[in-house]
């Protein structure tokens, strides 16, 4: 495996190494308001633990780095760490695990004396710390600010400036990406989304969804900040009553089980049959938007999604998508 990028840590005249990259896998923070609104607390804990179990996967987001520190809410199997280091030619990988795991990793770091002491120590050994995270959250920005106030030189090359941090939540939401698509759809005819609306409140949403289901024989309902299939309801033919009143009543009963349906905006859209010939039916492309607006293509993949809309992983390779 040939690396194309690396962080150079040659010492400056003052004896400090130039830079240390620190990666924080704060997956649950990305959708924390959604997780916090779970009606079933056992399911909430399961969701937090499942996200933490994906820490080993996130190591590969750092495959271009030779040396870095990785902060995770859950310990990673040493055998996997050795495999990763050998595969990606990593010379120096330091893994820090917080003592507590609440789901808000950056907050857990702030409350962990051992981890914070180590970060401040790294700040003394290196000219600056380059912090990257799974998501730019308010908790991440608070951690950055705390380190700066402790005398650590910090930069966040992959995070937006504080004034633009709102774009992460807005465009990372179901309603935000729908609005962006509608705006740009007038310019690009090939940029499309299923027919749908953004709603709020269980009662109104149930009425909209019931009408769409009866008319089209299917409907999809999404909470604004769900993820990996959580917060998504998919109904196909014969799965809901045909009469409006009965259909609406059943939808209300289903959505009342979790507080997030009442708390956040909701997207109601047409059920679209996937085309398995294109990326297995669920193609995906990832991009990086720079401060100046330039867009950098990262990779494309096919997503593994079951009939409930639950995400199960990705397939990456040259032949994933047709030419």
pLDDT in tens, 167-226: 777 877 888 888 878 777 666 777 778 899 999 999 999 999 999 999 999 999 999 877
Angle subtended by helix axes 244-255 and 202-216, to nearest 10: 130
| Secondary structure element (H or E) that encloses residue 24, with its range | strand 17-24
From the candidate CATH numbers 3.30.1490.20, 3.20.20.80, 3.40.50.740, 3.40.50.200, the one assigned to the domain spanning 174-269: 3.30.1490.20
- Contact between 219 and 266 under an 8 Å Cβ cutoff? The reply is no
- The verdict on pTM exceeding 0.85 is no
Give the tens place of pLDDT for each residue, 48-101.
Answer: 998 999 899 999 989 889 999 999 999 999 999 999 999 999 999 999 999 999
The structure tokens 């996937």 sit at 274
Domain layout of the chain by residue ranges: 17-168, 174-269, 279-315
Distance of CA 315 to the CA centre of its chain: 17
| Secondary structure element (H or E) that encloses residue 234, with its range | strand 230-235
160-198 in b/e form (b: 16+ CB < 10 A) is: beeeebeebbeebbbbbebeeeeeeeeeeeeeeeeebeb
């Amino acid at each position: 495996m040939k690396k194309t990028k690396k962080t150079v840590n040659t010492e400056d005249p003052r004896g400090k190494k130039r830079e240390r990259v620190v990666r924080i896998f704060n997956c649950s923070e990305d959708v924390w308001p959604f997780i916090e609104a779970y009606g079933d607390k056992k399911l909430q804990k399961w969701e937090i633990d499942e996200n933490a179990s994906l820490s080993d996967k996130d190591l590969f987001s750092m495959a271009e780095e030779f040396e870095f520190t990785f902060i995770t809410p859950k310990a990673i199997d040493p055998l996997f760490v050795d495999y990763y280091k050998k595969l990606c030619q990593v010379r120096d990988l330091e893994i820090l695990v917080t003592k507590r795991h609440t789901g808000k990793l950056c907050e857990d770091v702030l409350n962990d004396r051992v981890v914070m002491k180590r970060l401040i120590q790294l700040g003394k050994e290196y000219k600056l710390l380059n912090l990257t995270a799974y998501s730019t959250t308010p908790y991440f920005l608070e951690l950055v600010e705390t380190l700066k106030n402790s005398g650590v030189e910090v930069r966040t090359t992959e995070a937006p400036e504080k004034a633009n941090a709102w774009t992460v939540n807005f465009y990372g939401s179901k309603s935000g990406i729908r609005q962006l698509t509608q705006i740009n759809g007038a310019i690009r005819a090939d940029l499309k989304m299923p027919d749908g609306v953004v709603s709020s409140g269980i009662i109104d949403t149930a009425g909209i969804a019931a009408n769409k289901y009866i008319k089209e024989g299917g409907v999809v309902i999404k909470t604004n900040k769900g993820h990996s299939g959580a917060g998504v309801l998919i109904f196909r033919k014969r799965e809901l009553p045909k009469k409006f009143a009965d259909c609406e009543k059943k939808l209300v009963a289903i959505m009342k089980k979790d507080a997030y349906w009442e708390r956040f905006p909701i997207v109601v859209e047409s059920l679209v049959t996937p085309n398995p010939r294109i990326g297995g039916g669920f193609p995906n492309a990832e991009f990086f938007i720079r401060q100046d607006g330039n867009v950098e293509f990262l990779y494309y993949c096919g997503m593994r999604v079951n009939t409930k809309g639950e995400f199960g992983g990705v397939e990456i390779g040259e032949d994933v998508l047709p030419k």
